[in-house]
Structure formats: structure tokens, C-alpha cells
């Protein structure tokens, strides 16, 4: 009986490990992308909407659509993804299919937190830019600047350098716009205002998103 219990225990362990292996994501946040694709298969957002893509600062902007009720917002924030993940994995699933009239991008801080340099993040942005342009040559593209936050205070210089590189690049691109949403989150002392962030000091709270709404609104209204 004891040997039987051991064999059954080993069998259960192997089955569990096998199931875990099957569920292992092939690329970062694959399960979230699968969920987006499934939702789109049930009800595809109308084409020519306004697409917001990026990392968790987009994903946890819970009332994004409600803040701009008269705009056809399509929100596709992906976990704690990196900017580099978009050109590498996500374009066919959650960028190209919508044929958006405007694309807003927020990502890059997770890349820096993973140890990438400002130059590497900038290269990822340019790759994303080129891939969008190849499919949608005239679509306005807006980059929301990487925010400063006290949970990653050691990255403030890297954030500034990355933002500067992307801002300079977009200054010379047609239908490309850099939007500074980072400065408004700083207090009088020049440091991130924790009152605009959740307790993790990384993600924005409602007051923080109030600042973003005010800054982004004019760009949503462009061309209307």
C-alpha cells in the first residue's frame, strides 16, 4: 500500500509539472494577449478608434474610457511589459488589427528597471515606430513620457535621458508627438509627489490620472 501511495504521489507530481509546463507563457504576458484576442473575437472594437498601448500604467488606468466618454478608446495595456515587447510580440495581436486613427504609447520604465540603458529603450521605440509606420504611414503617434516615481528613484536620470532622446526624435517626425506627462507629477521640491501615486509609489492614483487626463485631452481633440 505504501508503494502504491508513493507511485500515485509521483504520478500526481509529474502531471502537475506537465500541466505547469503547458501553461508556461511562450513570451511575456502571453495569457493577457490571448485574453485580448478572445475578447476581440467576441466583439471586435470598431476600426479607426483611438488606441492606447503600453505597460501597467495603461492597464490599471481603470476609468480611461469613462474619462473620455465621447472618444472611441481602445485600451490595450499589458501587465508589466516592456516597450521592447511590443515590436517583438504584440503587433499582430493588439496593434495592427484596429487600424487606429491615433495611437498613444506609454512604456519604457520597466525596460529601464530591468537594466536596459536609455539607448536600448530608445532603439526599441524606434523599432516600434518603424513597424507602425510600415502599416499605417500617416497615423498620428503620441508618446507619453516615462514618469518619474519614488519607487524607482535610482532611475530618474535614466528616465530623463530616455525621454529626451525620444522627444528629440519625434520633433523631426511627421505625425509624431511627444507628450510630457511626467513633469506634472513632480512636487515643488522637484521630486515625484507621492500624493499622486498608489501606495506602491509606482502606479498613479485617481489624482495622478487627473493630471494625465488634463494633458492628454487636447491631443485627443486634435483634428476633430
pLDDT digit string (tens) for the chain, length 224 residues: 545 454 444 344 334 444 444 469 999 999 999 999 999 999 999 999 999 999 999 999 999 999 999 999 999 999 999 999 999 999 999 999 999 999 999 999 999 999 999 999 999 999 999 999 999 999 999 999 999 999 999 999 999 999 999 999 999 999 999 999 999 999 999 999 999 999 999 999 999 999 999 999 999 998 75
Torsions phi, psi of 221, nearest 5? -85, -10
CA distance 113 to 203: 14
Q: Within 13 Å, how many C-alpha atoms sit on residue 25's CB side?
A: 10
Q: What is the predicted pLDDT for the residue at 223?
A: 76
Give 179's strand partners. 144
* Cβ partners under 8 Å of residue 133, min gap 6: none
Q: What is the predicted pLDDT for the residue at 1?
A: 52
Q: What is the predicted pLDDT for the residue at 113?
A: 98
For the chain, domains (ranges, CATH) are 42-221 (3.40.50.1110)
Q: What is the predicted pLDDT for the residue at 19?
A: 42
Among 118, 96, 117, CA closest to 47 = 96
Please state, in angstroms and as integers, the Cα–Cα distance from residue 187 to each residue in 69, 148, 149, 205, following that order. Answer: 30, 11, 11, 15
Cβ neighbour number for residue 9 with a 10 Å cutoff: 10
CA distance 119 to 174: 22
Q: What is the predicted pLDDT for the residue at 12?
A: 41
Please state, in angstroms and as integers, the Cα–Cα distance from residue 55 to each residue in 2, 58, 84, 107, following that order. Answer: 51, 6, 11, 5
| Residue keyed to cell 495622478 | 208
Amino acid at each position: 500500500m505504501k508503494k502504491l501511495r508513493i507511485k500515485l504521489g509521483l504520478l500526481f507530481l509529474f502531471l502537475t509539472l506537465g500541466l505547469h509546463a503547458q501553461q508556461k507563457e511562450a513570451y511575456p504576458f502571453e495569457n493577457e494577449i490571448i485574453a485580448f484576442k478572445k475578447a476581440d473575437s467576441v466583439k471586435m472594437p470598431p476600426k479607426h478608434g483611438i488606441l492606447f498601448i503600453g505597460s501597467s500604467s495603461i492597464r490599471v488606468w481603470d476609468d480611461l474610457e469613462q474619462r473620455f466618454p465621447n472618444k472611441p478608446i481602445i485600451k490595450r495595456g499589458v501587465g508589466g511589459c516592456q516597450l521592447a515587447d511590443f515590436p517583438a510580440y504584440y503587433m499582430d495581436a493588439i496593434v495592427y488589427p484596429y487600424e487606429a486613427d491615433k495611437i498613444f504609447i506609454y512604456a519604457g520604465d520597466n525596460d529601464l528597471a530591468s537594466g536596459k540603458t536609455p539607448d536600448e529603450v530608445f532603439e526599441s521605440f524606434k523599432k516600434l515606430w518603424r513597424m507602425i509606420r510600415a502599416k499605417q504611414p500617416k497615423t498620428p503617434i503620441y508618446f507619453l513620457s516615462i514618469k518619474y516615481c519614488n519607487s524607482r528613484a535610482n532611475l530618474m536620470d535614466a528616465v530623463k535621458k530616455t525621454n529626451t532622446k525620444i522627444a528629440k526624435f519625434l520633433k523631426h517626425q511627421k505625425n509624431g508627438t511627444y507628450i510630457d506627462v511626467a513633469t506634472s507629477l513632480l512636487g515643488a521640491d522637484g521630486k515625484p509627489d507621492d500624493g499622486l501615486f498608489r501606495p506602491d509609489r509606482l502606479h498613479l492614483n485617481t489624482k495622478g490620472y487627473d493630471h494625465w487626463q488634463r494633458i492628454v485631452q487636447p491631443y485627443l481633440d486634435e483634428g476633430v
